[in-house]
Chain A
Amino acid sequence: MSDDRVPAARTASWRSWAPWIVLAVVVLAVIVWAAQPSGAPTPAERARALAAQLRCPDCESLSAADAQTSSARAIRRDLRARVAEGQSDATIRQAYVERYGEAIVLEPERRGLGLLVWGLPVVMLGAGALGLALAFRRWRRLQRRHATPDDEAIVREARRDGPTL
């Protein structure tokens, strides 16, 4: 009797997990597909991407790609020239950090404390998912309670004696 129940329970468990597994696989596939580079960027695209990573030095919270100040225009020209010279993205970014300091880079660096800014949201997401999974598991383990005939009798009694509206 018990030998029959174990495979049946396993099958039920798999069935309950299957939609989540499918969902996870689909989400991962979409992320991987979206993250795929669509061919090598042209020099103009590289310069534009670099400008988007740099802060416009004489305006508030705008990238050098979006701002229209003389500094932003000069930066865009300089980036195009550096890309044409064959400088790497890292070299170009470093040249700007040396000139303006770390504040010129819009995105925090992926090292040191800056790594926390990138990593913590992912860790938080993982912790949240784990917490939810544990909570669902616990709720599923709780046996469903049904009213006994005695309970129903108590309720009937209370209704009969209670105030009427």
Chain B
Amino acid sequence: MKYTARWIAVGVAVLLVALVVVFATQVGSDPRADARQSELAGRDVPEFRITTLDGTRLTEADLAGRTTIVNFWNTWCIPCREEAPALQKFHERHADDPTFQMIGIVRDDTRRAVERWVDNRGDAWTIAMDPGGNAALAFGTRGQPETFAVSPDGLVVGYQFGPASVEDLETLLLAARGRVTP
């Protein structure tokens, strides 16, 4: 009992250090640091239902049998505008490949703005609206642009957070074809 106060002080100091360690490693971490990777990687493409600009219904089943690049975007986001030329160039390279398809899913934008954008730029890949944000939610997106590579057997095999370059898109495509790990 002679050193009770000292032992209590040591105990409190140990607890304080433990608390600091826990806060530093667990609570203090930036949640957006996780944005660079997708929880979907290596898993089945999630269920979704979207409607293309020409009125065609698309679901996850429509991705089967082809390598698919899914790009979430909208017309008002600056990084999406920066990414647009790369998407166009990449799509032109592979447009004739029957085993390839690219789908742009619009997050949080109006149909009118999207139609005007597509008409002006001449984007030739499939563009679909996601008015309720359900597809964006199903893919676990955190913003836009975000790009997913889906293999012909329906696995999400690659992910790009933020604007993708042509090289990034080629790497994603190779991953979807099972040739590299992005």
A108 in contact with B19 given A71-B141, A131-B5, A131-B12 (CB within 8 Å): no
A78 in contact with B134 given A99-B40, A99-B140 (CB within 8 Å): yes
Segment of B21-29, B53-61, B116-124, B164-172 in the binding face = B21-29
Complex contact B31–A103 (CB within 8 A): yes
A120 in contact with B19 given A127-B12, A131-B12 (CB within 8 Å): yes
Complex contact A55–B31 (CB within 8 A): yes
Chain B residues with Cβ below 8 Å from A100 are 34, 39, 140, 142
Q: Which of B22, B31, B46, B142 makes the CB contact (< 8 A) with A116?
A: B22
A101 touches B (CB below 8 Å): yes
Interface bracket on B: 20 to 34
Complex contact A70–B39 (CB within 8 A): no
Q: Which of A57, A114, A127, A135 makes the CB contact (< 8 A) with B142?
A: A57
A113 in contact with B12 given A77-B132, A78-B134, A101-B39 (CB within 8 Å): no
Complex A-B, nearest 5 residue pairs according to Cβ-Cβ distance, in ascending order: A74-B133, A70-B108, A103-B31, A99-B140, A57-B142
Instruction: Show 19 residue pairs from A and B whose CB-CB distance is below 8 angstroms, ordered by the A residue.
Output: A57-B141, A58-B142, A69-B108, A71-B141, A73-B133, A74-B133, A77-B133, A98-B39, A99-B46, A100-B39, A100-B140, A108-B26, A113-B25, A116-B18, A117-B27, A120-B19, A127-B8, A127-B15, A135-B5
A interface residues with partner B (beta carbon < 8 Å): 55, 57-58, 60, 69-71, 73-75, 77-78, 98-101, 103-104, 108, 113-114, 116-117, 120-121, 123-124, 127-128, 130-131, 134-135
